[in-house]
Amino acid sequence: MNVLEERILKDGVVKEGNVLKVDSFLNHQCDVELFDAMAKEWAKRFAGKQINKILTIEASGIGMACIAAKQFHCSVVFAKKYKSINIDGDMYISQVESFTHKETNQVIVSKKFLNEDDRVLIIDDFLANGAALQGLISIVNQAGGRVEGIGIAIEKGFQPGGKFIRNLGYQLESLAIVDDMDWKTGTITLRKQD
């Protein structure tokens, strides 16, 4: 069991509606030592890939992406979310529908920071339905770059995003996969990983 899995079992809180609160260490208060261990694990899993950029999405992905970037010796670009915006030609844009929040955001990255030379590692904190990830993949494709891999902190294995993204052929590495949660008992069931 890796350190993130141990921490989820120790400090994760299950809320009604299949929501896992991890705000004491991951996406509100941030345990940077934990982020460092996660970064090292991603570095191991993506060893041998020629990654020259990390792409994430605001807000919660930014912290862990920056710590991961120290392992890959590259910079981080984070996609920005807007409810609606008049875009000029200098931006890559994709629509991302959040099933959790029932809203659509436009996700944008400046053309200055992503191009056809980029070999990209996408990092994010949660993978549920995969909408955010599909938006980020679309942005890399628009830039003519290549997605070398996808690193996720917590995948909700009972939602369709992980299967969908793996079926597209991407190397998707989720450090913890939650297969089941029960808010009444507080039980969290993690998928066994090697």
Give the binding-site size for ligand G4P (rule: CB under 6 A): 21
| Residue closer to ligand G4P (CB basis): 53 or 81 | 81
The contact pattern for ligand G4P, residues 1-20, with x = CB under 6 A and - = no contact, is: ------------------xx
Contact 146, 119 (CB under 8 A): yes
Torsion, Cα 28 34 38 44, to 10 degrees, reads 170
Nearest to ligand G4P of 20, 137 (CB atom): 20
Binding ligand G4P by CB under 6 A: which of 6, 82, 99, 141? Answer: 99
- For residues 127-151, b (16+ Cβ closer than 10 Å) or e, as one string? bbbbbbbbbbbbbbeebebebbbbb
Determine what percent of the chain falls in helix, strand and coil, rounding each to the nearest 5: 30, 35, 35
Q: Which of residues 53-82 bind ligand G4P (CB under 6 A)?
A: 59-60
From CA 66, how far away is CA 82, in angstroms rounded? 22
Per CB under 6 A, the list member of 63, 130, 145, 162 interacting with ligand G4P is 130
Using the minimum distance from each CB to ligand G4P, give the nearer residue, 21 or 44. 21
Q: CA-to-CA distance for 129 and 152, rounded, in angstroms? A: 13
Residue window 135-164: x/- pattern of binding to ligand G4P, with contact defined by CB under 6 A: ---------------------x----x---
